[in-house]
Structure 1
């Protein structure tokens, strides 16, 4: 996994300036090179007789010669099918050694020139910028612009970049490729270009809504994440962007994905706004059966929250990009699972048919709870996924990886089919991915505002019985209505193992909600899943708070915990 490499935005000094964040960061809690493997045998030949300047002004001299009609998603599906029908090609296109030896600081010196942004001379509100290869990004991806239906590969030239104190590389091939790209638009101000979406590293991408700062990441596909086999990282061999017009309200991106186990074609339709959304269509073609295929995966960072006092590393009370997993099952129930930084790898599975929605959310938007002027964790978006069509039987998985450093993403959420996708056959998944600041509009029920875990205790007995107290704050919805008569509100608490010892319900006039205290016991060496919600007679008042708890066996430390 990669180290987190975020820089401050560029200064804004002109009306048409570009405010750019650099979205390099950790993914999944282990170091990973975000370079993309790109075989020279599978990349379209580049015709380099025309300059990038002419390309940005609309030249079609570099046209993709393999398509006679308008280039579109079906072309990408055809290429993915061709990849899937032959053995995986692991040949890597090497880049010059002077680029692989770039340090973190020297790589940060290299920036795309704002005055060379593609589409700058057009009438649209979008600008395309490219990321340079080097440092961790050592394997290239070919980037294309689709103009008037023709796919035009962008040749590399050092003239696109400012190198600062780094010597300008010599004799680099126009077919070198790039590490990825970012697109900016008038997201927050009609006169300022702010970063909207970026693709860099394997199949990762990130996007922003109005007022957001980069936090969690979306992935196009995950394979064997959290499994017994080493995780496999599908990557993009090529990316295409349709050139927007003056009246374009959407941006369309295509990706050709490949890895040892799967090939795929992806389409992303990006609609910027207060809640930027990405409509994703994924055509997956496995080369083999994949037991742990992660569809619509999200990855985030959680170091410490309000219930993790021991995890704090400095003056900041909380440090996280997301604070909970929110999901809606086929029956219509809404649930909230607080995220933790566990002591051992923990995988929680929620089986369901036709899952109706899930996401990693940053529900806490209070700056005082973070006190971080640079990272601005309170401004990080949540990503909410709404599947389209029936995804069938499967399970939503939350994977929590121990970490002691906020530089590493250690949280993954994804949906995994119960039955492995058949090898050699295309399967299509479609879903809508939205960047949200609040979850209040998703459902009408009261929501979990805080979640605290009390300390564990172990009673002395033959086998040992663990006891623990959980504290949950519910607010919003229609809870304020019941504050004057709390006796009408009932706590519904259940556990899959052990026993609920008792519950306490306290009205909270400050939050206009209720605080719930639940005491639980559990035999040593066992794990349990807890569920707590509020109701009034036959009416459900809140979403379901769910959490897991494991009591270690005497004189043992679990290497990993799995809750199904």
Structure 2
């Protein structure tokens, strides 16, 4: 759960740890969830008041961000932090936004409601409504919230400000987009269930120094003029070493689609600037499930990283929950897309009727205008519970970020059930690990077996007795044996199996795919196997 008070998480380690923002507790995610709501999509005049209009445009806001980058950073300080700290989850939940105060920004198509400040969201943000090239800032008024008589919020100043916003469905029965804390934002996506988060920037993730969390300080809301979009949200961003402007042209017609245009300005040299970052949670899946760790079969917001490279290769990398922080890099030039996906859509594989992991959105990043050379970086952080966001991906350009640098960046974000550009090659549908060797025979010590299933695309069209299909498997260390592939008797999937004898406890990078003759049938399966003492020779 993103929050304004996020602090570095694990401290420095030999493998470079991250200060990734944590979800403070699982229940707090409900603050961004599908909340019941009723009422009119029109704010009564006596509830909402605005300051005097000011000229507004993307360029004007970019110029402001550029000027800010030339000035020293002044860290904002919460007002009345002792009172705000009393507004814990329970107290925050009892503060209800009055439906009659809903902002009608896009002709009723995308009503907007506001979040109150609290323990985990202590810094206010500016809410501005744009019309005819002018912006009007909304004044805070406690009357837009219904508060219990004993609520700590009643002790706050009457101009304390708002914490964030959420965009409602047209009938106002649920929300589908939310901004609350730092520069994070989340969408319920196509299946109307919140999961992973996106953010504007990730600064110094997985570095020995603490991670820096840029913050959206102001939101500017206006109707979209793009067909299929409802709302434009433009954000001003600030942090100790970076400023910027971040514009989202957003629509929901099944999948939620965001066309993003941004500019960032560096106040100082920065070692690692992660662009288009996503933050997710992966505890365990069918791949390498610990024994009796939880009664549910799987728990994750995302189960893998997908990459469509500039050379047209499709890659699938199942996620890990490692024992120590791991950073994996995938070099590329002008990638066509990448994202964190939730491919497993079967309720039976989660058995959780409270948070519905099978409905969590997949998020696909589609660069515009070519991003040049760089790498997709995947950071995996250990977790022992589902309340922690322990997965980060982002694009890291090979161009260093120096003081005074300007970074323009445009891309499309799609929050959907499936990736928006399915490949012709077959996709990985499951990765499983178990004891190596042959059933019924003595099991060789230190050998593990991998079983990888592919379905859809080319293999789904093959007859079960098709000849000439082979598995191509390589490893960075250790010894491979018993490499095989065959059609699964139920359904249209093909399965690849092989054994690995790890010779050390060092990570093993595996690469595999199916082919027939010169034709590549499947996407490339990449996996980082982390041997345990009983799996190494």
Cα deviations by residue, 1:166-212 (Å, 9 ceiling, x for unpaired): 437447545422111001123xxxx4543121111100001133322
Give ranges in structure 1 of 5+ residues lacking alignment.
19-51, 458-464, 557-564
Q: 2: distance between equivalents of 1:392 and 1:441?
A: 21
Shift of 1:274: 0.8
Q: Secondary structure at the match of 1:483?
A: coil
Alignment partner of 1:80 out of 30, 41, 65: 65
Match of 2:96 among 93, 100, 111: 111
Superposed counterparts of 1:363-374, under 5 Å: 363-374=343-354
User: What is the DSSP-based 3-state SS (H/G/I as helix, E as strand, rest coil) of the residue aligned with 2:463?
Assistant: helix
**What is the TM-score normalised by the length of structure 1?**
0.83
- Alignment map for 1:107-186 (pairs within 5 Å): 107-119=92-104, 123-164=107-148, 166-167=150-151, 169-170=153-154, 172-173=156-157, 175-186=159-170
Aligned-residue offset at 1:436 = 1.6
Distance 2:394 2:324 in 1: 20
Query: Which residue matches 1:223?
Result: 203
CA deviations 1:520-553 (Å, max 9, x no partner) are 2333143332111111111111111100124478
> 1:11, 1:72 → 2: CA distance?
34
Q: In structure 1, how many angstroms separate the alpha carbons of the residues matched to 2:236 and 2:291?
A: 40
Q: CA deviation at 1:247?
A: 9.0
- 1:114-161 deviation digits (Å, cap 9, x = unpaired): 1210118x8431211010001111111111111232111111111111
Q: TM-score, normalised by structure 2?
A: 0.87
Q: Where do 1:161-560 residues align within 5 Å? A: 161-164=145-148, 166-167=150-151, 169-170=153-154, 172-173=156-157, 175-186=159-170, 191=171, 193-243=173-223, 249-310=229-290, 313-439=293-419, 441-455=421-435, 467-551=447-531
* CA-CA distance at 1:419 after TM superposition: 2.6
Change (3 A) 1:54 1:244: farther
Does the 8 Å contact 2:176/2:188 carry over to 1?
yes
Task: Say if 1:550 and 1:245 are closer, same or farther in 2 by CA, change over 3 A.
Answer: closer
Q: How many angstroms apart in 2 are the aligned matches of 1:137 and 1:410?
A: 21
Q: 1:62 maps to which residue?
A: 51
| Corresponding residue of 1:6 | 29
Q: CA deviation at 1:2?
A: 3.5
- How many angstroms apart in 1 are the aligned matches of 2:533 and 2:152? 60
| Unpaired segments ≥5 residues, structure 2 | 1-21, 438-444
Q: Deviations over 1:27-47 (max 9, x none)?
A: xxxxxxxxxxxxxxxxxxxxx
* Structure 2: distance between partners of 1:403 and 1:532: 28
Change in CA separation of 1:502 and 1:403 when aligned onto 2, cut-off 3 Å:
same
Root mean square deviation, CA, Å: 2.8
Offset, 1:469: 1.9
- Name the CA shift for 1:479/1:247 in 2 (closer, same or farther; >3 Å): closer
Taking the aligned partners of 1:268 and 1:110, their CA distance within structure 2 comes to 28
In the alignment, the residues of structure 1 paired with residue 501 and residue 311 of structure 2 have an alpha-carbon distance, to the nearest angstrom, of 29
* Secondary structure of residue in 2 paired with 1:309: coil
Gap change, CA 1:87 and 1:222, over 3 Å in 2:
same
Kept in 2: contact 1:466–1:551 (CA 8 A): no
Contact 1:123–1:245, Cα closer than 8 Å, also in 2: no
Query: By how many angstroms is 1:74 displaced?
Result: 0.7
Q: How many residues align?
A: 505
Q: Distance in 1 between matches of 2:236 and 2:108?
A: 26
